[in-house]
């Protein structure tokens, strides 16, 4: 029972991270009908940006862990949100009228460029970096299950971010404008919505959410590396597809579903750690073959 509880806690944390990544893919597709394959590498860049901010704080003598984790997160999210907006402005929007394959290829190449730039130019970029353990390391013994304080904090804050994104999209004027652009670009323009600005803000939000997922990943595993975005980006994209690309709730559902599949694979299969990803991707492939439009099929009125 204790081991099962530990797997469940891990699954919730992973599901939160995957959902945040999947939300970005859904937002990009919702407003511009594009698949941004550099999204995972932008996540990695956010994690490295946060790690650099931590090194800067250490250099100037700021050692309070709460100040450190706050600054690291804010710098990573803000910096990566800006990069996401720049990508949208100078790479994605100019290709809006081009064939979709062009945007797919340019973002795929951009992801490779970001990944290789970090590997080549970041000090010892080829080696994994020990991400600092900034959250409390206290734990509570619940019989056969040990509940870690850092896990509780990561889940609580991660879920709060997901709820915040939901409220932003569904309860604010900005969210209304994003949904209007996603549903009918021309009508939105006629109604006075600044289409370009909405696209830039949407890409900033999606990229910032990915950076937050990258910081969560670093705090949870206490390590980051230049290739971390490859798997996380693929999982986030798979989660968005299986949930229903273009549907915010589908992205969240897909993220937690993928984490649940990994957890089931780790518990139920022999040589669990080796086969859990194979099992999860195998089930996702089967679900996609069964429901090509995703578990929550997109309707025009539901987009984003």
Tell me the backbone φ, ψ of residue 139, rounded to 5 degrees.
Answer: -145, 155
Domain ranges of the chain: 2-302
What pLDDT digit, counting tens, does each position of 101-125 carry?
A: 898 899 999 999 999 999 999 999 9
pLDDT higher than threshold 90 for residue 67:
yes
- Measured CA to CA, the distance from residue 214 to residue 210 in angstroms comes to 6
Biggest CA pair distance of the chain: 62
Model pTM greater than 0.85? yes
% of the chain with per-residue pLDDT over 90: 68
pLDDT at 32: 84
Closest by Cα among 10, 161, 154 to 69:
154
As a whole number of angstroms, the distance between CA 252 and CA 275 comes to 24
Asked if 95 and 106 touch (Cβ cutoff 8 Å), the reply is: yes
Q: What would the mean pLDDT of 134-152 be, rounded to a whole number?
A: 81
In the predicted structure, residue 251 carries a pLDDT above the cut 50: yes
What number is the average pLDDT over the span 186-197? Answer: 92
pLDDT of residue 301: 42
Q: What is the pLDDT of residue 143?
A: 67
Q: Mean pLDDT throughout 136-165?
A: 86
- What is residue 300's predicted lDDT score, i.e. its pLDDT? 43
Distance of CA 95 to the CA centre of its chain: 24
Predicted confidence band of residue 264 (pLDDT cuts 50, 70, 90): confident
DSSP 95: G
Q: Examine the pLDDT at 184 and tell me if it is beyond 50.
A: yes
Give the pLDDT score at 65.
94
Among the listed residues 50, 65, 30, the one whose alpha carbon sits nearest the alpha carbon of residue 304: 30
CATH of domain 2-302: 1.10.3470
How far are the Cα atoms of 152, 216, 222 from residue 128, in angstroms, in the given order?
25, 16, 10
User: Which comes out higher in pLDDT, residue 28 or 99?
Assistant: 28
């Amino acid at each position: 029972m204790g081991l099962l509880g530990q797997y469940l806690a891990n699954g919730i944390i992973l599901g939160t991270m995957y959902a945040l990544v999947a939300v970005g893919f859904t937002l990009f597709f919702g407003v511009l009908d594009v698949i941004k394959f550099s999204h995972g590498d932008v996540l990695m860049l956010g994690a490295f940006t946060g790690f650099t901010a931590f090194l800067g704080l250490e250099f100037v003598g700021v050692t309070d862990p709460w100040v450190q984790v706050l600054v690291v997160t804010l710098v990573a999210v803000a910096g990566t949100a800006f990069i996401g907006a720049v990508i949208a402005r100078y790479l994605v929007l100019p290709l809006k009228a081009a064939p979709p394959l062009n945007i797919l290829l340019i973002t795929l190449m951009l992801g490779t460029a970001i990944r290789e730039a970090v590997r080549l130019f970041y000090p010892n970029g080829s080696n994994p970096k020990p991400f600092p353990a900034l959250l409390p390391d206290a734990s509570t013994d619940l019989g056969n299950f040990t509940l870690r304080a850092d896990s509780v904090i990561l889940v609580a804050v991660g879920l709060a971010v997901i709820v915040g994104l939901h409220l932003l999209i569904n309860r604010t004027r900005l969210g209304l404008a994003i949904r209007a652009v996603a549903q009918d670009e021309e009508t939105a323009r006629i109604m006075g919505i600044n289409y370009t600005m909405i696209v830039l803000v949407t890409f900033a939000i999606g990229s910032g959410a990915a950076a937050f997922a990258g910081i969560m990943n670093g705090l949870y595993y206490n390590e980051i590396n230049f290739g971390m975005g490859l798997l996380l980006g693929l999982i986030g994209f798979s989660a968005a597809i299986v949930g229903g690309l273009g549907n915010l709730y589908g992205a969240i559902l897909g993220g937690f579903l993928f984490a649940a599949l990994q957890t089931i694979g780790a518990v139920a299969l022999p040589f669990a750690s080796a086969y859990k990803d194979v099992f999860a991707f195998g089930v996702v492939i089967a679900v996609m073959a069964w429901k090509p439009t995703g578990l929550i099929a997109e309707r025009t009125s539901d987009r984003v």
